[in-house]
Amino acid sequence: MKYITFLLALVISLTTFAQNTSAENDSLALRKLYDMSLLNGKSYEWLDHLSNQIGGRLSGSIQAEQAVQYTKKELQKLGLDKVWLQPVMVPKWTRGTKEYAYIETKPGESKTVNICALGGSVPTPVNGLKAEVIEVQGLEDLAEYGKEQIEGKIVFYNRPMRANLIQTFEAYGGCVDQRYAGAAEAAKYGAVGVIVRSMNLRLDDYPHTGSMSYLDTPKDNRIPSAAISTNDAEYLSSLLKLTPDAKFFFKMSCRTFDDVQSHNVIGEITGSEFPNEIIVVGGHLDSWDLGDGSHDDGAGVVQSMEVLRLLKESNITPKRTIRVVLFMNEENGLRGGNKYADVAKQKNENHIFALESDAGGFTPRGFSFDCTDAQFKQVEAWKPLFKPYLIHFFEQGGSGADIGPLKNGNSVLAGLRPDSQRYFDYHHAANDTFEAVNKRELELGAATMTSLVYLYDTYGVEGFPTKMPFKN
Amino acid sequence: MKYITFLLALVISLTTFAQNTSAENDSLALRKLYDMSLLNGKSYEWLDHLSNQIGGRLSGSIQAEQAVQYTKKELQKLGLDKVWLQPVMVPKWTRGTKEYAYIETKPGESKTVNICALGGSVPTPVNGLKAEVIEVQGLEDLAEYGKEQIEGKIVFYNRPMRANLIQTFEAYGGCVDQRYAGAAEAAKYGAVGVIVRSMNLRLDDYPHTGSMSYLDTPKDNRIPSAAISTNDAEYLSSLLKLTPDAKFFFKMSCRTFDDVQSHNVIGEITGSEFPNEIIVVGGHLDSWDLGDGSHDDGAGVVQSMEVLRLLKESNITPKRTIRVVLFMNEENGLRGGNKYADVAKQKNENHIFALESDAGGFTPRGFSFDCTDAQFKQVEAWKPLFKPYLIHFFEQGGSGADIGPLKNGNSVLAGLRPDSQRYFDYHHAANDTFEAVNKRELELGAATMTSLVYLYDTYGVEGFPTKMPFKN
């Protein structure tokens, strides 16, 4: 009995020792990764190039192509095991001449306002379009007004984002249907055009673009669709109360071309023990064209690249394959994300974990996990490791648009969750520029992502069969 | 026995019910406070006035006086029970003509650099001061170089803030001795002037001012002391490696006047049940003169005012006395904070809780508490109430400079802790302006402060004797 007690005590103390040691090792590893990112990071320098040397990277543009070539070259410099381009056909839409719009209270009396075409919109007639305006608070209002009040008019969607929601993405989610489906719905009632209040919580002069879809609207019934700045939306709304027959004029020369070929940019460190267990980290290389796409999603791109650089530089030898994927065409098609998942499926690749950064380069707060409860328990046990870095947000929920297609029921998908308060001040607007990104905040995000990747590489994913035969 | 069991069960279930109900009430109260701050807040409008209509509010300046009058008037509009000014004598130091500085590699070859006088510095001679430079990494280096290497030279303190510290205030604390005591120490070794690397984690062109002290240096031995921008500090440092005998010229016309009278601005809602238990919330009304002091500490001022407005508007009737104190002269003397505590002591006032906001108007993360372990336990029990607002940081530690003198061993002192990553980009520099403050972040801070004040008002402070006789 004594002997058994002794043995039991030994096993317990050895287990405790092993647990303490691994927790200590993990803690030291994270400290090293944060130090490297903050003291010798590359992410900010890469972002400077993407933003200031290349600029806005709309799918199908020369800048998008330059970004493909630049990031491929930079990944090659890191000495990864493989770097390659994955071909993908993407839509090509161009804004054309800067948009022009004014509100006319009576002939000869007008005020110019700030608008921009929504991505995918048809142009106005060459000489512009002028019509009366009907203001609505959402898609559901259209049926109420009916064809007799809407026909021949411009529909003005003006439901603002809810300022009292703490998570601004929730406020965005509650409004963006107006932008996405506004034209398709209004066309059913004979509207001739659509103006949408910018998805912005702040009152300012920037119109915010973003994707829209005509859904199943026949080609001849498609009407032009633009965003208006929040200040001008407020102005237009108050004006319509006094002057309901005021007219709105706008002129846009956007065009849709045939799809063109582009690429996802991919690099990997092949796993030393379980090379067929793949961990993906990524952001999207394309952006809208008004700013230089520093927050959306230059930040996510350079942070994802930095994950692999930090692992290399810190002499960590990943057991599993760590892959960075810079997705093309998140903004207006998601073709890159879909293509990557299609190819992965064809090749029967095992993606155990994917992490996306596409919520801006702000101070990281944590992650949102799309996973099972058991998998989430595994993650929650790692929370204490992140406390010194003020990373506290670990919640089950969505992950990211580009990695979404990888969902298979076994893998864990996660999204980095930075502070979101300022995000929609810049989102899809001309002020989404390099100056709006803080170097430290960007670097903290990269280190936070690398830390999570390190932990998944070290411990694998709960419930995922490890040590499967290496496929090649 | 059965009867006793029944009674016990009843007591337990009633207690649980009461606890659930109060937790639910608190949860609803917090939701209301956040909604009001985000949907109908006044803090941003007040800050706009303080920053853009008044501007930098250095102690003893006309702007500081305007700020006293403006905030007094605004507090009166809120219909508080009392609003008053508390006289306090403050130092008066003026910057004079904009400073001018250059580095001279050889006669006729020079580069101008960005400097500013440190608050409290003596001026240079009227025609400026030119001398060779000795670079050091801190006060402790002086003894090593000794009088023979320092005498007649300008000492250049160039130890940077440590970028790998996550909490930037810690990095600041590790450097600011160079600014505060640099001149006093260098003068002992016969230095003729002092240049200090700006307390800034970012490389940019803004010099950051801040207080310095001559300590016990005799009047005739006081040497002028300036901050240099981080970019120019880097330039000067690399130049000195190549050209150790390069000379530094600077010219400053700052002046110290006799103390002048100013005021703390105070307003209160008198407690309905325990009027002699005082809860203070505050920030400092003075600021440095280079920017408009929006983050430091216009934000804290308007957030503190907003606490009382939100309580009034939400029809909460505080049981305890809630007092807003807008302290004068935090930056270069702490006279307001000391005066307030002195008067409180004289009047034998019971301060049970004090909360300061003086770390910028950024997204709030939580609070730091200067309190006993038992008191901290009380606070920790409230953490779940704050989770929906992403408030997660509850730690024991320091509180704030202005409320520090209120410490008495019984009361709880706390400081709001916003995200600190960008704070030192603006701190004491010309870019600390209204545009750098985000409306939502400011409002979230105000709601977070009000929530904590509400909880202390509702439950009192652990270990503090309540229901003491009302003194008047």
Does any domain span residue A17?
A: no
Does any domain span residue A101?
A: yes
Q: What pLDDT is stored for residue B463 in this prediction?
A: 83
Q: What pLDDT is stored for residue A12 in this prediction?
A: 64
pTM of the model: 0.94
Measure in Å the smallest separation between the Cα of B49 and chain A Cα atoms.
18
**Inter-chain contacts counted by CB atoms under 8 A, chains A and B:** 63
Does the pLDDT value for residue B2 go beyond 70? no
Q: Does A35 touch chain B (CB under 8 A)?
A: yes
Does any domain span residue A20?
A: no
Measured in Å, how far apart are chain A's first and last C-alpha atoms? 53
Cβ-based neighbour number of residue A384 at 10 Å: 11
Q: Which residues contact A355 (CB under 8 A, 6 or more apart)?
A: A279, A280, A281, A282, A367, A399, A403, A413, A414, A415, A416, A449, A452, A453
Share of chain A above pLDDT 70, in %: 94
Q: What pLDDT is stored for residue A463 in this prediction?
A: 83
Q: What pLDDT is stored for residue A19 in this prediction?
A: 66
For residue A442, the chain B residue with the least C-alpha distance is: B421
Q: What are the chain B neighbours of A424 within 8 Å (beta carbons)?
A: none
Domain shared by B159 and B208, yes or no: yes
The CA-based angle A93-A96-A98, given to 5 degrees, is: 130
Q: What pLDDT is stored for residue A23 in this prediction?
A: 87
Which of A172, A419, A448 is the best residue to mutate to test the B interface, defined by the most B CB atoms within 10 Å of its own CB?
A419
Q: Which residues contact A77 (CB under 8 A, 6 or more apart)?
A: none
- The whole-chain average pLDDT of chain A stands at 95
Interface of B with A in 433-462 (CB under 8 A): 438-441, 444
Domain shared by A161 and A226, yes or no: yes
Which of B166, B417, B423 is the best residue to mutate to test the A interface, defined by the most A CB atoms within 10 Å of its own CB?
B166
Between chains, do A389 and B166 touch, taking CB under 8 Å as contact? yes
Alpha carbon distances (Å) from B84 to B57, B281, B345: 20, 15, 18
Q: What pLDDT is stored for residue A471 in this prediction?
A: 38
Q: Does A365 touch chain B (CB under 8 A)?
A: yes
Domain shared by B129 and B221, yes or no: yes
Q: What are the chain B neighbours of A439 within 8 Å (beta carbons)?
A: 202
Q: What pLDDT is stored for residue A248 in this prediction?
A: 98
Q: Where are the strands (E) in B154-222, listed by range?
A: 154-157, 193-197
The predicted-structure confidence for A90-123, as pLDDT tens digits, reads as follows: 999 999 999 999 999 888 899 999 999 999 999 9
Q: Does A421 touch chain B (CB under 8 A)?
A: yes
Cβ-based neighbour number of residue A128 at 10 Å: 17
Between chains, do B419 and A419 touch, taking CB under 8 Å as contact? yes
Domain shared by A334 and A266, yes or no: yes
Residue at A333: amino acid letter = G
Domain endpoint, select from A224, A253, A282: A253
Does any domain span residue A12?
A: no
The secondary structure element, H or E, covering residue B130 is: strand B129-136
Domain shared by B114 and B73, yes or no: no
Domain endpoint, select from B237, B253, B269: B253
Q: Is the preceding peptide bond at A373 cis, omega within 30 degrees of 0?
A: no
Q: What are the chain A neighbours of B392 within 8 Å (beta carbons)?
A: 392-393
Buried/exposed code over A176-190 (b: 16+ C-beta within 10 A; e: otherwise):
bebbbbbbbbbbebb
A85 φ/ψ angles, rounded to the nearest 5 degrees: -105, 135
State the pLDDT confidence band at B469, using cuts at 50, 70 and 90.
Answer: very low
Between chains, do B441 and A425 touch, taking CB under 8 Å as contact? no
Q: What pLDDT is stored for residue B471 in this prediction?
A: 38
Residue span of the structural domain in which A209 resides: 96-253
User: Looking at B135, B330, B349, B443, which residue is catalytic?
Assistant: B330
Find the CB nearest A438 among B422, B439, B440: B422
B203 φ/ψ angles, rounded to the nearest 5 degrees: -90, 115
HSE toward the beta carbon, residue A431, CA cutoff 13 A? 14
For residue B168, the chain A residue with the least C-alpha distance is: A440
> Which residue ranges of chain A lie beneath pLDDT 50?
467-472
The predicted-structure confidence for A10-61, as pLDDT tens digits, reads as follows: 666 666 666 677 889 999 999 999 999 999 999 999 999 999 999 999 999 9
Number of structural domains, chain B?
Answer: 2
Buried/exposed code over B374-398 (b: 16+ C-beta within 10 A; e: otherwise):
ebbebbeebeebbeebbbbbbeeeb
The predicted-structure confidence for B54-98, as pLDDT tens digits, reads as follows: 999 999 999 999 999 999 999 999 999 999 999 999 999 999 999
Domain shared by A187 and A38, yes or no: no
- The whole-chain average pLDDT of chain B stands at 95
Tokens of B350: 């019971």
Domain shared by B72 and B172, yes or no: no
Between chains, do A34 and B163 touch, taking CB under 8 Å as contact? no
Q: Where are the strands (E) in B160-301, listed by range?
A: 193-197, 225-228, 247-251, 255-269, 274-284
Q: What pLDDT is stored for residue B107 in this prediction?
A: 86
User: According to DSSP H, which parts of A151-216 are helical?
Assistant: 168-173, 176-188
Q: Does B202 touch chain A (CB under 8 A)?
A: yes
User: Looking at A74, A135, A277, A330, which residue is catalytic?
Assistant: A330
A380: annotated active-site residue: no
The CA-based angle A237-A241-A246, given to 5 degrees, is: 80
For residue A162, the chain B residue with the least C-alpha distance is: B39
Lowest mean pLDDT among A3-7, A301-305, B165-169, B438-442: A3-7
Contact A279, A456 (CB under 8 A): yes
**Cα–Cα distance for residue pair A229/A461, rounded to 1 Å:** 45
Tokens of A89: 């056909």
Domain shared by B368 and B451, yes or no: yes
Contact A439, A18 (CB under 8 A): no
Between chains, do A39 and B363 touch, taking CB under 8 Å as contact? no
CA dihedral of residues A360, A364, A366, A371 (deg, nearest 10): 30
Per DSSP, A295 falls in state I
Domain shared by A264 and A331, yes or no: yes
Q: What pLDDT is stored for residue B276 in this prediction?
A: 96
Q: What pLDDT is stored for residue A106 in this prediction?
A: 86
Domain shared by A119 and A233, yes or no: yes
Between chains, do A34 and B166 touch, taking CB under 8 Å as contact? yes
Tokens of B311: 């309580």
Q: Which residues contact B242 (CB under 8 A, 6 or more apart)?
A: none
Domain shared by B226 and B340, yes or no: no
Between chains, do B419 and A34 touch, taking CB under 8 Å as contact? no
Measured in Å, how far apart are chain B's first and last C-alpha atoms? 52
Tokens of B36: 């009001």
Q: What pLDDT is stored for residue B18 in this prediction?
A: 67
Long-range contacts of B105-111 (CB under 8 A, 24+ apart): B105/B239, B105/B243, B105/B246, B110/B249, B111/B235
CATH code for the domain of B317: 3.40.630.10
Does any domain span residue B330?
A: yes
Domain endpoint, select from A253, A285, A315: A253
Share of chain B above pLDDT 70, in %: 94
Interface of A with B in 221-280 (CB under 8 A): none
Residue at A416: amino acid letter = L
Measure in Å the smallest separation between the Cα of A425 and chain B Cα atoms.
9
Does any domain span residue A22?
A: no
Measure in Å the smallest separation between the Cα of B292 and chain A Cα atoms.
20
Between chains, do B363 and A421 touch, taking CB under 8 Å as contact? yes
Does any domain span residue A177?
A: yes
Between chains, do A163 and B363 touch, taking CB under 8 Å as contact? no
Does any domain span residue A182?
A: yes
State the pLDDT confidence band at B470, using cuts at 50, 70 and 90.
Answer: very low
Domain shared by B371 and B454, yes or no: yes
Q: What pLDDT is stored for residue B7 in this prediction?
A: 66
Q: Does B73 touch chain A (CB under 8 A)?
A: no
Q: Which residue has the higher pLDDT, B15 or B438?
A: B438
**Helix, coil or strand: residue B136:** strand
For residue B417, the chain A residue with the least C-alpha distance is: A390
**Cα–Cα distance for residue pair A138/A160, rounded to 1 Å:** 10
Q: What pLDDT is stored for residue B12 in this prediction?
A: 65
What SS3 string covers A301-334? HHHHHHHHHHHHHCCCCCCEEEEEEEECCCCCCC
CATH code for the domain of A120: 3.50.30.30
Q: Does B390 touch chain A (CB under 8 A)?
A: yes
Interface of A with B in 39-68 (CB under 8 A): 39
